[in-house]
Structure 1
Amino acid sequence: MGANGSSYPHSCSPRMGGNTQTQQTFIGTSSYSQQGYGWESKLYSLEHGHERPADRKKKSLGLATLKRRFIKRRKSNRSADHARQMRELLSGWDVRDTNALVEEYEGTAALKELSFQASLARAEAPSLQRDLAALYQHKYCTDVDLIFQGTCFPAHRAILAARCPFFKALLSSSPGYGAEVLMDIDTAGIDVPMFSALLHYLYTGEFGVGIAEDTRLQNVDVLVQLSEEFGTPNSLEADMKGLFDYMCYYDALLSFSSDSEMIESCNERGAVAAVPTGSSGGSGAPGTPDEDLRAHKAILSARSPFFRNLLQRRIRTGEEMTERTLQTPTRIVLDESIIPRKYVQVILHCMYTDVVDLGLVLRGSPSSCSLGEVQALVSGCRGASTRTEEAMELYHIALFLEFSMLAQGCEDIVVESLSLDSLVPILKWSSQPYGSKWVHRQAMHFLCEEFSQVVTSDVLYELSKEHLLSTIQSDYLQASEQDILKYVVKWGEQQLIKRMADREPNLLSGTAHSVNKRGVKRRDLDVEELREILSPLLPFIRTEHILPPNSDVLSDALKRGLISTPPSDMLPTAEGGKANAWLRQKNAGIYVRPRLFSPYVEEAKVRLVYL
């Protein structure tokens, strides 16, 4: 293994059940570029430059990209109409009032930026580097003991061999679980703290932990000599990707079963069944060895508290000693109704690389899944799952495994797929107790920004009352008040038609005379029932800001009794004249914060320049 790439002996066979040549694709998650001081005091970093297929659009979900995607301005004829209406409103204002309105808009814009940044916030997921540092510190599932100057260092054979040519050659001559290996280092000046720091570097790519700064600087020559004796490792990411591809020194087999009795029996023994690799397991057992997936207990323990607790429980039962005696890997039996086999390659790949690659999903797998409610919700009982649906399902598996890096990667994929077509399923899923609150915030932000597009499509009628209510309460909704009123009423009328269809007798429903077939005229709608449907929504429409003031939409709503009183700024004040609901200083108690609607904001700024 040299500095320019990973190399593995031909005796290290590819991992079972996977394709070693699978292209690595970065989707949604950030690639963590680890930095550390090499043994020659050089800084190594890995730049992930893997190309996606040519027909796949490159996307990034960084804060800046999300901001550009959600907060964008469109130039259209409709925007020109809104600008004209705002220009007519401001034509009678003096410069002080216009300036006051612009300042109000600027304050709201600052709040929107803070709100947007807050919506993107989420707890930082532990990276591969951080989890491997904890693995070295806590010594989970060690399988070799290094003896240096009378001090024992429990370690993990696979990680050391993947990271360092010296250890790769040394450990190959000391096979077996729990082997004690005496470290004979030719380089002079190495003490126990420095040796510990070198091991920490192999696990994390960071050198110097546990060594004082002045001591580290005094031993530069020692580090140069060590690089000659040990060899210079690649970046942590490259070596861990190689370990995933080749699975050298694997000590665990992931097996799958839908036999509840067999799984329960395994659970009684620590949820792990240890069997010889040459055994098929007999009737009712999980898969044959050729169908099992190889893994390393150290990586499973480091990345997932679920696997760590499972393996620790097995150690307490004494099965660890049996496996060491028989020289057999541990077979971990997974319930396929909870963790479908088709997703396990994705899970393992993320454990070794911090990258969620849905290209590793076994599309033709007949795996069952206990998340039927989620699948039905997002797919409508269709055959093949979409990329978004797979990310949703995998998100729940990640929560079960307590693997937050995978969970956040799935969240990123779902948010990346937001569009008019996927908006409602994503909103429904993320609103559930089992959904992602982070995804829900992004979906609601998308709905507010794309509201003008949503209301002119059938997506409007699929929105729930709760989602529509939350949207029209926002100060940042990208729509005029006239359009908001117009389409909220349309939404209410559609809800009433659905009620009428549901009340039809079974014999009539679906026939040519049914409501759905013959249609309903507006005059046939019960205004009282429509008012009841719209009563939670209409109070949040800022009728004082409807433009033009003589709006037909507003007049119609008043005539039908949907709005009981006209906007307060249309009523005369005690002093005579009319109050201005747009301005704080001229509110006469009726001020309403104007929404940060882009065409209005831009026109107000242009007007201020020319005054």
Structure 2
Amino acid sequence: MGANASTGGPGEKIPNPQYRTSALLHRYSSVDTPLDPDVGHGIPHTLAASRHHSDKKKKSSAFATVRKKLTRRKKGSKSADHAKAIRELTCNWDARDINALVEEYEAGAALKELSIQADLARPPSSLLQQDLSDLYDYKYCTDVDLIFQDACFPVHRAILAARCPFFRDLLCRAPGYGQEVLVDIKTAGMDIPMFSALLRYLYTGEFDTEGSRLENLDVLVHLGDEFGIPNALEQDFKILLETGDYYDAMLVFSSEAGPPDPNVTEACGNDYYFEDELRCHKAILSARSPFFRNMLQKRVRTGEEMTDRTLQTPTRIVLDETVIPRRYARVLLQAIYLDTVDLSLIVRESPSTTSLSEVQAMVAGRGELSQAEEAMELFQIAQFLELSVLAQGCEDIIAESITVDMLIPTLQWSRQPHGSEWAHRQALLYLKEEFSQVASSPVLCELGKDYLGEALQSDYLQASELEVLKAVLKWGEHQLVRRMEEREPNLVSNTAHSVSKKGVKRRDLDDVELREILSEVLPYVRVDHVLPASHDVLSGAIKRGLVSSPPSHMLGGDTGKANAWIPGKSSGMYIKPRLFQPYMDEAKAILEEHLDAEIELVRLRMMRMSHIPDTLYMVDDKTPSRVRHRPSAKPPAFIAGEVPVPDVDKVRAMLGREKELRRIPLAQRAYGICPDRGLVTYQIHLRVVREWGLPDAAVELLQYPGDYYLELLDDIPGAGATAAVALAVPPMSAPARHLDETRFSFTPSPRPLAPRPAPVQHVDPLDVTECTRRGVMPDIAVPATSATPSVGRQMQRSPELGDRGGAAFSRSFSYS
């Protein structure tokens, strides 16, 4: 069975998704921020680096060259228009106001980086080495027993024979199933623990030096002389996959759709064909997939396995082709044996008519499935087999295949129950980052209202507010025309007098009905930030009554323009500007131009350290206290039957991961420059729960851990005494809220609750003194931080960095 794989084109070879982080992170990153150094520690990310295409691009024709030049010129003119618009806005601003705008952009950029990392987070896929280590520990499907110094080691013949010539020759002399084989090793100093470590090394390719004594290292050198140095684990498993040596199982595909092909050699039944039987190894299948493991263990319990061993025949694993098409069989085995997803192994010459996706493609009049569609179907197979490495490899292919044309199919598929929530987040991220391109294509009109509304709510939408307004009006008018077509009588439809044939002019559209269509999405357009403010599109929307209230600058004169962009100028007019990259870059350039003329700006940028004493490691005595606040008007996000109950050790590990992420430079920078630190902490919580495979609603576990597990009160500084007094009972080893055996269920305690006392003040776990003691540089010493916000903004900030359950997480707070 060949394993040749190309590195480009439709046969994409995706390496282990465990290391696929940087590509999308750099793809959507808005600032040059170094990668998170803690990624992969504890919960590694699973998005690999971008692929390198081996095939060179063909030379473009003369027409294509001209088209590229025109496209480049068009993009350049758009950037110039954006720069001109922001300069006209700030032409009368002083350095203080421009600095405040740049500060808002920098805070948004830091928060965006955390948001991207949260969107990319997912549980780690199981690696081949870890699965084989578990296989050695739990002894699934062992077929031979090694006897060494009166100790029995149940092992797997195929793995040891493929990895070591010594064991290959030894096991060939005892071919029977379940035989006991005496092992005689001539190397001096070999004991039972050392022999067990040797076997684990052959399974995993890694030797546990920490668990072995130093004097045993010399024994390893002599073992290498006696046994030889094994190849890399992936190399031996590739040979094992290609040759099928020592196989004890066969994958067989069965289908009841249609008679058997007479040109194919029959073997052992009418539905089983020799060419479709793939040799494999039960030990590896059971190690990688819980589905195959349960199937093989069931055969042992029913006695079928003993029958196969008696007859000395390989175990037939019959798969229903309506669920797992045979065209994906080699891709499946490649992922199981080598941790790679190679779509070039798909058999495309003889398509399987039992594949639902292929049937849908034929009904739609399309030929072969696209690469993304094949990955979607493979993802569903991987979910069925519980093969995480294949599932995440397919997710990576889907995410990297997202284009404007594939945006809506990806959104629709990922929203389905059998879809991928991670791929859905990547599709939404693409929509936000490429909104200008989507808005200029017909795809905009096909977007659902939910997807459009979710994109418009984002603070990181990459489009000017004028482009957003144009896109919303275009989308609404298209929906209105579609309604008019649906209301046409059957006699008029599809004739020359139909709406679809003759078209509709804008003046013929009903503005009242259009206002009703746009009522749920138009409020997300930040009309105060439309530049230029006197644009005809905005004026026309106001005249048509589509915009209910005019922009604030039309009510307050020229000063209203700055009030709508800068916080603190006027509390009633300020609207947070989107982090539109051209605006941010131009605002920074304008600020730099003021450096020579405005000496005052230097003092503004140094205000952040004005309250810090001369000694860096001294702090003020006034430390913000952790405020515990849970409004009783709204029930918790955890409702009965929504989220499975994680055990307390898992939550404690999640809290430890949260502390790690709080200390990374990116989080420290965001905490230092973002006016609302609760948003920063929320993005960290969101990333943690996604890394553990929990739904987003589980962030409440990290916000209020002591409210669900009293055992965790001691882990929260200052929370134990407060909660104990508030409950009027001493802390117990039981959840604070009554939990059933499998699900969260919110049930108030029958005891009368005493009034909550004033919160206990405590030193924040990540304040300057604590950071210094732990060797972490506090944010105040980072020179890359932006200019300091005004005193009014500092007064509006949430509790300090370590606040996990404070006012920043009040239910009245709205996360964006």
Question: Which category of TM-score, normalised to the shorter sequence, fits these structures?
Answer: 0.7 to 0.9
Equivalent residue number for residue 318 of structure 1: 303
Equivalent residue number for residue 222 of structure 1: 219
2:518 counterpart of 1:521? no
Equivalent residue number for residue 490 of structure 2: 506
What does residue range 433-582 of structure 1 map to in structure 2 within 5 Å? 433-572=417-556, 580-582=563-565
2:571 counterpart of 1:588? yes
Q: Tell me, which stretches of 5 or more residues in structure 1 are unaligned?
A: 1-17, 34-47, 58-73, 261-277
Q: CA deviation at 1:380?
A: 4.4
Q: Contact 2:564/2:575 (CA < 8 Å) preserved in 1?
A: yes
1:605 counterpart letter in structure 2:
K
Q: CA deviation at 1:21?
A: 5.3
Inter-partner Cα distance in structure 2 for 1:365 and 1:290: 13
Deviations 1:279-315 (A, max 9, x none): 82333xx322332111111111011100100110110
Distance change in 2, residues 1:443/1:377 (3 Å): farther
Q: CA deviation at 1:365?
A: 2.9
Q: CA deviation at 1:32?
A: 6.9
Inter-partner Cα distance in structure 1 for 2:591 and 2:290: 59
Q: CA deviation at 1:218?
A: 0.6
SS of the equivalent of 1:118 reads helix
Inter-partner Cα distance in structure 2 for 1:56 and 1:133: 44
Q: Contact 1:584/1:591 (CA < 8 Å) preserved in 2?
A: yes
Equivalent residue number for residue 170 of structure 1: 170
Inter-partner Cα distance in structure 2 for 1:579 and 1:485: 20
Inter-partner Cα distance in structure 1 for 2:98 and 2:361: 49
Equivalent residue number for residue 604 of structure 1: 587
Distance change in 2, residues 1:86/1:21 (3 Å): closer
Inter-partner Cα distance in structure 2 for 1:488 and 1:576: 28
1:30 to 16, 21, 31: 16
1:175 counterpart letter in structure 2:
P
What does residue range 236-315 of structure 1 map to in structure 2 within 5 Å? 236-259=233-256, 280-283=267-270, 286-315=271-300
Q: CA deviation at 1:579?
A: 6.7
Distance change in 2, residues 1:457/1:212 (3 Å): closer
2:337 counterpart of 1:341? no
Q: Contact 1:545/1:582 (CA < 8 Å) preserved in 2?
A: yes
Distance change in 2, residues 1:447/1:364 (3 Å): same
Inter-partner Cα distance in structure 2 for 1:379 and 1:100: 57
Distance change in 2, residues 1:576/1:371 (3 Å): closer
Inter-partner Cα distance in structure 2 for 1:159 and 1:576: 76
Q: CA deviation at 1:220?
A: 2.7
Q: Contact 1:142/1:298 (CA < 8 Å) preserved in 2?
A: yes
Inter-partner Cα distance in structure 1 for 2:454 and 2:465: 15
1:499 counterpart letter in structure 2:
R
Q: Contact 1:427/1:440 (CA < 8 Å) preserved in 2?
A: yes
- Percent of aligned pairs sharing the same letter: 59
Q: CA deviation at 1:512?
A: 2.3
Q: Contact 2:554/2:560 (CA < 8 Å) preserved in 1?
A: no
Distance change in 2, residues 1:528/1:335 (3 Å): same
2:386 counterpart of 1:402? yes
Aligned Cα root-mean-square deviation (Å): 2.7
SS of the equivalent of 1:581 reads helix
Equivalent residue number for residue 231 of structure 1: 228
Equivalent residue number for residue 315 of structure 2: 330
Q: CA deviation at 1:375?
A: 7.1
Q: Contact 1:132/1:204 (CA < 8 Å) preserved in 2?
A: yes
What does residue range 186-205 of structure 1 map to in structure 2 within 5 Å? 186-205=186-205
Distance change in 2, residues 1:342/1:322 (3 Å): same
Equivalent residue number for residue 367 of structure 2: 383
Return 531-540 or 380-389, whichever deviates more: 380-389
Deviations 1:210-263 (A, max 9, x none): x744x1x21233212211221210111111111111111111111111239xxx
1:282 counterpart letter in structure 2:
G
2:531 counterpart letter in structure 1:
L
SS of the equivalent of 1:580 reads helix
SS of the equivalent of 1:147 reads strand
Distance change in 2, residues 1:379/1:129 (3 Å): farther
Inter-partner Cα distance in structure 2 for 1:234 and 1:509: 71
2:129 counterpart letter in structure 1:
Q
Q: CA deviation at 1:371?
A: 4.1
2:345 counterpart of 1:360? yes
Equivalent residue number for residue 66 of structure 1: none
- Matched pairs, number: 541
Q: CA deviation at 1:20?
A: 5.5
Inter-partner Cα distance in structure 2 for 1:26 and 1:184: 47
Q: CA deviation at 1:576?
A: 9.5
Inter-partner Cα distance in structure 1 for 2:363 and 2:576: 40
Inter-partner Cα distance in structure 2 for 1:376 and 1:532: 35
SS of the equivalent of 1:226 reads helix
Equivalent residue number for residue 77 of structure 1: 77
Inter-partner Cα distance in structure 1 for 2:409 and 2:299: 41
What does residue range 111-150 of structure 1 map to in structure 2 within 5 Å? 111-150=111-150
SS of the equivalent of 1:499 reads helix
1:610 counterpart letter in structure 2:
E
Q: Contact 2:328/2:378 (CA < 8 Å) preserved in 1?
A: yes
Q: Tell me, which stretches of 5 or more residues in structure 2 are unaligned?
A: 20-48, 59-73, 258-264, 595-816
Distance change in 2, residues 1:606/1:578 (3 Å): closer
SS of the equivalent of 1:418 reads coil
Q: Contact 1:377/1:425 (CA < 8 Å) preserved in 2?
A: no
SS of the equivalent of 1:332 reads strand
TM-score, normalised by the number of residues in structure 1: 0.84
Return 87-96 or 582-591, whichever deviates more: 582-591
Equivalent residue number for residue 71 of structure 1: none
1:566 counterpart letter in structure 2:
P
TM-score, normalised by the number of residues in structure 2: 0.63
Distance change in 2, residues 1:26/1:159 (3 Å): farther
Equivalent residue number for residue 183 of structure 1: 183
Equivalent residue number for residue 54 of structure 1: 55
SS of the equivalent of 2:145 reads strand
Distance change in 2, residues 1:577/1:407 (3 Å): closer
SS of the equivalent of 1:571 reads helix
Distance change in 2, residues 1:501/1:104 (3 Å): same
Inter-partner Cα distance in structure 1 for 2:216 and 2:281: 34
Inter-partner Cα distance in structure 1 for 2:15 and 2:102: 38
Distance change in 2, residues 1:53/1:89 (3 Å): closer
SS of the equivalent of 1:153 reads strand
Distance change in 2, residues 1:21/1:415 (3 Å): closer
1:236 counterpart letter in structure 2:
L
Deviations 1:476-531 (A, max 9, x none): 11111111111110111111111111222334322222211111111221211111
Q: Contact 1:473/1:540 (CA < 8 Å) preserved in 2?
A: yes
Q: Contact 1:165/1:230 (CA < 8 Å) preserved in 2?
A: yes
Q: Contact 1:95/1:608 (CA < 8 Å) preserved in 2?
A: yes
Equivalent residue number for residue 599 of structure 2: none
Q: CA deviation at 1:26?
A: 6.3
1:54 counterpart letter in structure 2:
D
Q: Contact 1:250/1:294 (CA < 8 Å) preserved in 2?
A: yes
SS of the equivalent of 1:256 reads strand
Equivalent residue number for residue 743 of structure 2: none
Q: Contact 2:266/2:273 (CA < 8 Å) preserved in 1?
A: yes
1:597 counterpart letter in structure 2:
F
